[in-house]
Structure 1
């Protein structure tokens, strides 16, 4: 991909030659944002009393990081709570080209720009589906710990407060003028041990804490569909890694998943191999007669 092509797409920026591929924290200086807005509540609001709106976001993945950045850029007092700042979340990590532009992602955080995708059927017939890509198009392969950290750091640069903490529970407002009270354990970068119990009062809460969302439980959001997935990162010999240099694979069929698919996605120095299902957990229980067989 040449520089002329890169310049024609919003948000696609070449890697800085003096910057390491893994030095995500050094990319922010190249980003320019509109001037921050000042959002002040009206004088007639008894709840806010002329101060900025205060919002807490629980969960520091792409949804949480993006929400925090957007709110902070708008002048809202923003807090993002995330327990695992280096979380290697189970995720295939394939992103479409449009996301690179819409999220203004630097090319440095993309491990590989795949242009070949192979779909393997239940009968082991392989079909190449990447041929529809144009010369400048690709499928980005990212590691979630890199992508998530970049988005959180960018939110912080725009004024969001990033809290390394574990969200525990939330007290709902007693009346329309009362705040939400969030209870969490603060770790301040500690890797182990018991966190310090803290509280945070805000005017609104965004739950971006995944399938087992404690925010969803706190507001009694009810049941919802979710997928169960498994993935391993496998480092293979360099001569075999060449095969996946520009190729991603997807497998369909009951031998891989009853209703989902399996994947082999290349990353910086390994392949991410995983599968999943949206079938209810109870339906996946192993029959008593098959338990011994399943252990082998």
Structure 2
């Protein structure tokens, strides 16, 4: 049964007597995900006289792309800064069914619908852990470079300005009516080399630039413990890919990771084989070799087509600063 969900957004113009309201209707294929999102800004600052609020979002992953879309829909002048427009990450490639509705994702963005999951012990005894899924439920497998690009493009369609740039630093406001000044290297129209040094003045900043966040560093949010995730995309023969059509495997044991797990996840026409660790980061490649060895009989003959690695926060950053939201992985969530 199709359902209609209303999302309300509140924009801002100092010159108007009331905030501007925007509404967007969304259809979800099978399940209702009721929610109401609001973007609210105070109308007390003289610096907003006669214009919209200006917000910069640093980081173009799912958190940054979604924030940019929401703000742009609300009538806020929105800028999203992202350096790697084709960035791939080993994390976030498996999404729950609820995210399809909450993010209003098209079904064709999902490469594989995993309905079977196996946990494999150190002695290679496999246990089926996918029995808790209901008949209509699945875990969606996506490629982050595809998902992230889709969300950024949708933000752009709704009015956000997407900047291909590397955020460098931020100058704090000198007083309550002064802007934040972001310094970045711009790469729009460039295929490589050194970017052009540019600045951007905004009223607010959202940091969504990942675990190694420069925004978090600029506001002294503190350090935290993190895991390293390492993953290889492997193109295996078609007859072996049939085995992983709707199956994900997770391997446990000190050989693949002393504190994490190894995995084999199906993607569009290949598998992602990876592992992670918090306590033994220097040994991550050794754990990766062990994960491949454990799955060897099912991926033999495969060719590595891509290698990815990324830090994953293990807990929130120790300090929060008023006025600077940290979203996604960046705050340690």
Q: Could you tell me the TM-score, scaled by structure 1's length?
A: 0.80
The Cα shift of 1:138 comes to 0.7
How many angstroms apart in 1 are the aligned matches of 2:89 and 2:112? 18
Alpha carbons 1:21, 1:108 under 8 Å: kept: no
The answer to whether residue 112 in structure 2 is matched with residue 102 in structure 1 is: no
1:60-109 deviation digits (Å, cap 9, x = unpaired): 00010011111111111110000011112233611110111111110111
Q: Which residue of 2 aligns with 1:288?
A: 317
1:142-192 deviation digits (Å, cap 9, x = unpaired): 000000000001111111110001111111111111111000011114221
The Cα shift of 1:114 comes to 1.0
Distance 1:95 1:22, change over 3 A: farther
Q: Could you tell me the TM-score, scaled by structure 2's length?
A: 0.72
Comparing 174-183 and 5-14, the one that deviates more: 5-14
Alpha carbons 1:112, 1:246 under 8 Å: kept: yes
Comparing 73-82 and 218-227, the one that deviates more: 218-227
How many angstroms apart in 2 are the aligned matches of 1:174 and 1:294? 25
The Cα shift of 1:123 comes to 2.8
User: Matched residue pairs, number?
Assistant: 294
The Cα shift of 1:201 comes to 0.4
1:242-291 deviation digits (Å, cap 9, x = unpaired): 11011110112211111111110001111001101122758xx9999999
| SS across alignment from 1:273 | strand
Correspondences of 1:155-234 after superposition (within 5 Å): 155-234=155-234
Comparing 249-258 and 147-156, the one that deviates more: 249-258
| SS across alignment from 1:265 | strand
How many angstroms apart in 1 are the aligned matches of 2:19 and 2:43? 48
Unaligned runs of 5+ in 1: none
Alpha carbons 1:28, 1:154 under 8 Å: kept: no
1:226-254 deviation digits (Å, cap 9, x = unpaired): 22111100001111111101111011221
How many angstroms apart in 1 are the aligned matches of 2:158 and 2:70? 9
Q: Which residue of 2 aligns with 1:23?
A: 23
| SS across alignment from 2:217 | helix
Alpha carbons 1:39, 1:76 under 8 Å: kept: no
Q: Which residue of 1 aligns with 2:273?
A: 273
How many angstroms apart in 1 are the aligned matches of 2:101 and 2:194? 40
The Cα shift of 1:116 comes to 0.4
The answer to whether residue 154 in structure 2 is matched with residue 154 in structure 1 is: yes
> Which has the larger share of strand?
2
How many angstroms apart in 2 are the aligned matches of 1:60 and 1:32? 27
How many angstroms apart in 1 are the aligned matches of 2:201 and 2:17? 44
Distance 1:195 1:242, change over 3 A: same
Question: Cα RMSD (Å) of the superposition?
Answer: 11.2
Distance 1:52 1:245, change over 3 A: same
The Cα shift of 1:42 comes to 6.9
Alpha carbons 2:221, 2:317 under 8 Å: kept: no
Comparing 84-93 and 165-174, the one that deviates more: 84-93
> Which has the larger share of helix?
1
| SS across alignment from 1:294 | coil
Alpha carbons 1:141, 1:266 under 8 Å: kept: yes
Distance 1:56 1:19, change over 3 A: closer
